[in-house]
Structure 1
Amino acid sequence: MSDPLLKVENLVKHYPLGAAGIFRKDVPVVRAVQDVSFSVEAGETLCIVGESGCGKSTVARLLMRLTEPTDGRVLLEGTDIAGLNKHALRDSRRRMQMVFQDPYSSLNPRLTAGQIITEPVGNFERLSRRKRDALAAELLQKVGMAPEMMHRLPSELSGGQRQRLGIARALSLNPSIIIADEAVSALDVSVQAQILNLLMDLQEQMGIAFVFISHDLSVVEHIGHRVAVMYLGRIVELAPCEALFANPVHPYTEALIAAAPVPNPTQVRLEVPVEGEVPSPVKPPSGCAFHPRCPLAIERCRIDVPALTRTRDGRVVACHVRAPARCSPGQSDVGSFSLTPVA
């Protein structure tokens, strides 16, 4: 098998609370991301889900290197972008772009839609005005907008149109992968469906890979090929989308799916008891971070941090109770399985 398009190895991000000094050597830190590893194949959509504050958006910023990692590697087509200098990092931006959560604040209010779309291209090559307008018109049509809208300001567009504009901007450099951080969370349900279908169509046409970050499980079930579930900065389960929703293994995944609203009021859902609040990332619990809320916790859960372990059906789970058997020595726990890439 060829190397994955994107490979993340043992990614860590800590935010110190204050500065160290002569009389203060041990500075408390927020452990936003802890030992996160996964891979993304060309043409694949990997969804990252979890409660607010679990580290999803921090992972997105680390992938783009908008935030410097504390430790770990982000390999884009085999190149570790975490170690690139400023000039080399700039070149890597052509291959990986981002669609931000807020479709308004991520756009320059003083630029027209056409200028917003072609601005990234201007960082790498010079285009005549005619070529810029042609590119803007082409990308606007590709995302379902009229070419005449290139002369409008973001304030003159609706929320759905602004999000389409953000997608068009990300497509302007013809990237291999797009990081979409809560790309539809601020939109109406009908507009969400349009944007999701647009992303899926673009993936089929252009072979783009997506890292799609969301807290909406219905959205994830619709668009995802694989799903990584995060809790308190760690991945606790990673599995093909259909298998994860049909048979969640980790107790947190089970509780997360059970808590999702169901549109049918007559349908009986499985109730999974999860009590208490999410622990502080400054002082996370020892052992498994989920053990204070887990109904299946045993004594080992309070002591040892569970490693991602491959189960018999091919998924990886970090749970002492549900996934006690380790994979064979030398075999990767995360990066050795994936769905067949989309053409």
Structure 2
Amino acid sequence: MSEPFLKVEHLTKHYPLSAGFLKKPSLFVRAVEDVSFSVAAGETLCIVGESGCGKSTVARLLMRLVNPTGGRVLIDGTDIASLEKHELRAWRRRMQMVFQDPYSSLNPRLTAGQIITEPLENFEPLSGKQRNALAANLLEKVGLSSEMMHRLPSELSGGQRQRLGIARALSLEPSLIILDEAVSALDVSVQAQILNLLMDLQQEMGIAFVFISHDLGVVEHIGHRIAVMYLGRIVELATCEALFANPSHPYTEALIAAAPVPDPTRIRSATLVEGEVPSPINPPSGCAFHPRCPLAVERCRILVPPLVSMPDGRALACHVRAPDETMPALSSLPATLVNSTLV
């Protein structure tokens, strides 16, 4: 892969809870906590995890739909998280998003042609002939007939609407497209068509994808690398082949074990976790997964594990599977901290 087009460094997002008039909030929803990764041109990074782990918040932060609490989002070396609104406008052309719901993400009052050309008209004026040519070209690129440019979204099927959403994202010729559960609302056969379409477009145009999903089957098909998130943090980051062949983090093992297997004769793994995901308002101390982890030791309850580079190239945040020699010894920590954590 080439140099990273997108680089995320220590990205953090806390949502304050209301504390009343003129009072500072004392509680925060810790949606994203110290997330770092990179994506090269022509690469697909998939982000997976349970509902509420912060995947969609990461997508909104990458698009600057919400402002981060901390960290940086670098596009070609420029930190878009620190840009003013007028400076950010020029960067909007280079990053686009395809949303989860193909029914509510399209304006029902615009025709397919208008939906496709509207983003470009926000930056430069187009004649009627240019609009029609652009719409026809992009519709055909995503596998739809150019005659559909005069139809309303209500006249299209779910798969056709999602293709229309992809065509709209392509209208500005972006370098990065973020897809937030872009195929989860579609039938399995239509999912396969959309995924193959995305892979073909990436090979043709060299677009970088950040693909967010909870479906491991979809991720295994389209991803180059996979980031596994748990309660706002990345706990494992590896190539697709390495992650599915040999998952290292206990949470990753549990996710893969819980995925449906389309083979009734195949024996399923018993690596399942119990309990509920902790609240992001009051996350556990140390490793957030330790209350549900069968491998948890004393260190897991006290210290947050860093994301450590492993010899096989993956990054892992686990005191048991990836011990970090730079972490302080428990004996060097204040007794009050250790005792209060273990209560």
2:56 matched residue in structure 1: 57
Structure-2 change in CA distance of 1:171 and 1:26 (3 Å): closer
Opposite residue 18 of structure 2, the aligned amino acid is G
Structure-2 change in CA distance of 1:326 and 1:309 (3 Å): farther
Greater percentage in helix? 2
CA distances 1:178-233 after superposition (whole Å, capped 9, x unpaired): 00000000000000000000000000111111000000000000000000000000
1:253 matched residue in structure 2: 252
CA contact (8 A) 2:19 2:25 kept: no
Q: TM-score, length-normalised on structure 1?
A: 0.93
1:341 matched residue in structure 2: none
Structure-2 change in CA distance of 1:27 and 1:325 (3 Å): closer
Opposite residue 162 of structure 1, the aligned amino acid is R
Structure-2 change in CA distance of 1:20 and 1:196 (3 Å): same
Q: Aligned with 2:31: secondary structure? A: strand
Counterparts of 1:135 and 1:78, CA distance in 2 = 31
Moved more, 44-53 or 3-12: 3-12
1:92 matched residue in structure 2: 91
2:168 matched residue in structure 1: 169
Q: Is residue 34 of structure 1 aligned with residue 33 of structure 2? A: yes
1:206 matched residue in structure 2: 205
Q: Is residue 16 of structure 1 aligned with residue 48 of structure 2? A: no
Counterparts of 1:220 and 1:242, CA distance in 2 = 11
Note the C-alpha offset of 1:19: 3.8
CA contact (8 A) 1:48 1:227 kept: yes
Moved more, 2-11 or 305-314: 2-11
Structure 1 residues without counterparts, runs of 5 or longer = 328-343
Q: TM-score, length-normalised on structure 2?
A: 0.93
Counterparts of 2:233 and 2:170, CA distance in 1 = 30
1:141 matched residue in structure 2: 140
Opposite residue 171 of structure 2, the aligned amino acid is S
CA distances 1:251-296 after superposition (whole Å, capped 9, x unpaired): 0000000000000010112111311100000000000000000000
Structure 2 residues without counterparts, runs of 5 or longer = 327-343
Note the C-alpha offset of 1:240: 0.4
CA contact (8 A) 2:10 2:35 kept: yes
1:159 matched residue in structure 2: 158
- Aligned pairs (5 A) from 1:247-286: 247-286=246-285
- Aligned pairs (5 A) from 1:307-322: 307-322=306-321
1:331 matched residue in structure 2: none
Structure-2 change in CA distance of 1:10 and 1:109 (3 Å): same
1:5 matched residue in structure 2: 5
CA contact (8 A) 1:3 1:77 kept: no
Counterparts of 2:110 and 2:71, CA distance in 1 = 37
Instruction: Number of aligned residue pairs: give it.
Output: 326
Structure-2 change in CA distance of 1:161 and 1:26 (3 Å): closer
Structure-2 change in CA distance of 1:116 and 1:265 (3 Å): same
CA contact (8 A) 1:36 1:235 kept: yes
Counterparts of 1:185 and 1:195, CA distance in 2 = 11
Counterparts of 1:127 and 1:277, CA distance in 2 = 53
Opposite residue 75 of structure 1, the aligned amino acid is L
CA contact (8 A) 2:2 2:41 kept: no
Opposite residue 138 of structure 1, the aligned amino acid is N
Counterparts of 2:79 and 2:243, CA distance in 1 = 30
Opposite residue 10 of structure 2, the aligned amino acid is N
CA contact (8 A) 2:44 2:210 kept: yes
Q: Is residue 194 of structure 1 aligned with residue 215 of structure 2? A: no
Opposite residue 139 of structure 2, the aligned amino acid is L
Q: Aligned with 1:33: secondary structure? A: strand
Note the C-alpha offset of 1:87: 1.5
Note the C-alpha offset of 1:100: 0.5
2:126 matched residue in structure 1: 127
Identity %: 79
Q: Aligned with 2:93: secondary structure? A: coil
CA distances 1:110-164 after superposition (whole Å, capped 9, x unpaired): 0000000000000111110001000000000000000000000001100000000
CA contact (8 A) 2:109 2:152 kept: yes
Counterparts of 2:271 and 2:249, CA distance in 1 = 12
Note the C-alpha offset of 1:3: 4.1
Q: Aligned with 1:5: secondary structure? A: strand
The alignment yields a C-alpha RMSD, in angstroms, of 1.3
Counterparts of 1:104 and 1:286, CA distance in 2 = 41
Counterparts of 2:194 and 2:133, CA distance in 1 = 23
Moved over 6 A (4+): none
Counterparts of 1:303 and 1:26, CA distance in 2 = 26
1:292 matched residue in structure 2: 291
Counterparts of 1:311 and 1:113, CA distance in 2 = 48
